[in-house]
Structure 1
């Protein structure tokens, strides 16, 4: 029987600003990737999101990004592997502390935005992030783009990795996500997004923007909270998964 984890990027507000529909989406997901303050988030937002995840039995994850609040961490920056290591350790510590103070635990790590894409393609950056995660807590799960350098780096470091696929994003023939801003990069139709996710889980493949078939491993599906109609996407996906008999479970949980 197929099983899948559903994750969503959360806690991406800052100060008086809010982003996404965290409370509404939390009931559909099994893992929450919580912004750590660099690309979004702050102390109060981290704490609120941690508490919300605990209320719903959702796994708490850190979502470290580049230090770019103005660009929401989606702009590529030139950083060294040492800088990648240090900013990852720093941000993990923030969410880990709030998780523990609220009676929970940090379960996983998923880099955000440009940092995620950079680590997917650059083995030195991927190694630095994997080393940071391992040294903070070797029990943590490392989420990364299926088939990417981050997955291989995590396995080499001795971490348990979780291969991620995207319901609402299109893929390039080389396995990368289609860059935002490119026509068709974001799948706005909830039905099509759910169909793509089910296909990736059951067939282990996805049709790329170029029309080719791309083999991949699907262990967790990302839902973007800032996608228009995010709640509808989540509801339609859960409905499709139930219809196909696909179990929805937290990554790393037995059974």
Structure 2
């Protein structure tokens, strides 16, 4: 029996979708361009279903990367997921974006097992990141948080975890910060992707760990702060 889960990832500049059958990837597509989520997301979804030759009514669930991340991207991704779940009367599965980045890193990097602590990161403003931490057993040792990073930010971990790995879209800007730090390695170029939540989503589908479609909201972590340009003085 087929179990089709449509997976959506829009927490960063990457707009990514995947069609997964019983935890195995059938089709996937990603576009990394600024501000394309609103225009490209539904087009990518339709293209995946067409390539697999299935209709929306054959989907069993929708899984969405719930955040933290971009306020606008998360709002579009979660709204689309909720709309599909409501229209199709199928369950909604939510996955912490950082958990997806961690799962993808373990799956796609040959040396991923060499570290004692894994810290996936998403970019926030300036030197701030959204992050969490996993030990070698895959257990969460630090809850998802917003962290302003400097050269000393990893010191309290190093006594217990001699080899720390930082990765994800938020880690790229920290390469120079930790270049001379012993025991801290920054792996650049690790992006978000809808395929990375496949196993988590399927496990939650089997366990019936579903969200309330009516009330579910993205995990923004911090409140959205709108800014307005400063007015120029009248000459």
> What is the TM-score with the length of structure 1 in the denominator?
0.32
Structure with greater proportional strand content: 2
- Specify the structure having the higher radius of gyration (Cα): 2
Structure with greater proportional helix content: 1
